[in-house]
Structure 1
Amino acid sequence: MSVNIDSRVVTPGSDDFVDEAWQLKEEIKRQEGVLKQRYDFFTDAYRRSTVHCYLQESELVGFAAVRRDGYILFLAVDSDCRGLGIGKQLVAHVAEDHDSITCHARTSNENALQFYEHLGFEIKRRIDNYYEDGGDAYYLKLGSDVGITDRISELVRR
């Protein structure tokens, strides 16, 4: 597989790549049972976010939708493109604009939890019944107290 990947930034108010992002999210949902948001919730949050997108041959292979406070609403990478550093790069783009980054991850989503832990995120608290389906979440944070800039720079160089 070619690793020729382009990046784009979708500004708040735009729906560029929203349908592609929804399809990628739904594919991950089918494969892994995570990212279970409703369409209206997803598209509304997407359109209000800054979205960092990665495309391979014009196909969306990863994206991170981020609120202006550095909270990652959605982070998704196509399963065929995992291990190429796309997730790290997406978080690195978020880190360029924010002093701290936060997100929630399902307590049962081992892949996400391992990914975030590898990047230096810390679990700050557990929230029972966080998701609509009753699933529990961890609230995670990566911030200046853990050297976000140095940590992300180090990861991107790998």
Structure 2
Amino acid sequence: MSVNIDSRVVAPGSDDFVDQAWQLKEEINRQEGVLKQRHDFFTDAYRRSKVHCYVQKGDLIGFAAVRRDGYILFLAVDPEFRSEGVGKRLVAHVADDHDTITCHARTSNENALQFYEHLGFEIKRRIDGYYEDGGDAYYLKLGADVGIADRISDLIRR
């Protein structure tokens, strides 16, 4: 990962980077048809989360908004920075704080599913009609039973 990318943490209750996170999410939505949350839902969830961010020259290039229980509400990486380890490092930050990480991913979101599978997440169940637009989701889990700390450490070293 480039040396001119900074890691930041946004504490719950803060608006830091919320507008840039919304814009990044919306750009990904336009390009890929995923991350379809409404603005009010997104900003409320963002503000209630601990958000791990990567920033380059003041611009947000990736973020993971996480609940206290290790559930990733949102994970987004600017398409120009994919394959540079940003997503892996965001999940690694979450793993530093939690023994188990969970999330949902659209069954049609091949990029996300491949990413999570590569990190060692397991599909625990399918939930039909999970999203507001009727889209289906997989519930994914990475936990102590699959060696979360060792797995993430191995990925970061690569």
Quickly name the TM-score band, shorter chain normalised: over 0.9
Paired amino acid for 2:85:
G
Q: Structure 1 unaligned runs (5+)?
A: none
Structure 2-normalised TM-score?
0.98
> Which whole-Å deviations, capped at 9, do the CAs of 1:110-129 have from their partners, x for residues lacking one?
00000000000000000000
Q: What residue is the counterpart of 2:83 in the other structure? A: 83
Q: What residue is the counterpart of 1:107 in the other structure? A: 107
Q: What residue is the counterpart of 2:49 in the other structure? A: 49
Q: Percent identity?
A: 85
Once the two structures are TM-superposed, the CA of residue 57 in structure 1 deviates from its matched residue by 1.1
* Structure 1: distance between partners of 2:99 and 2:3: 30
Matched, 1:153 2:150: no
Structure 1 residue runs of 4+, over 4 Å off? none
Aligned-residue Cα RMSD (Å) equals: 1.0
Q: Structure 2 unaligned runs (5+)?
A: none
**Pairing 1:111-122 to 2, within 5 Å after superposition:** 111-122=111-122
* Structure 1: distance between partners of 2:72 and 2:15: 17
Once the two structures are TM-superposed, the CA of residue 77 in structure 1 deviates from its matched residue by 0.1
Give the conservation status (yes or no) of the 8 Å contact 1:28–1:34: yes
Give secondary structure in 1 for the equivalent of 2:133.
coil
Give secondary structure in 2 for the equivalent of 1:37.
coil
Paired amino acid for 2:4:
N
* Structure 1: distance between partners of 2:4 and 2:18: 22
Give the conservation status (yes or no) of the 8 Å contact 1:3–1:56: no
Give secondary structure in 2 for the equivalent of 1:60.
strand
Give secondary structure in 2 for the equivalent of 1:155.
helix
* Structure 1: distance between partners of 2:89 and 2:102: 16
Give secondary structure in 1 for the equivalent of 2:76.
strand
Matched, 1:133 2:136: no
Number of residues of Structure 1 aligned to a counterpart in Structure 2: 158
Paired amino acid for 2:142:
L
Once the two structures are TM-superposed, the CA of residue 3 in structure 1 deviates from its matched residue by 5.1
Structure 1-normalised TM-score?
0.98
* Structure 1: distance between partners of 2:118 and 2:4: 25
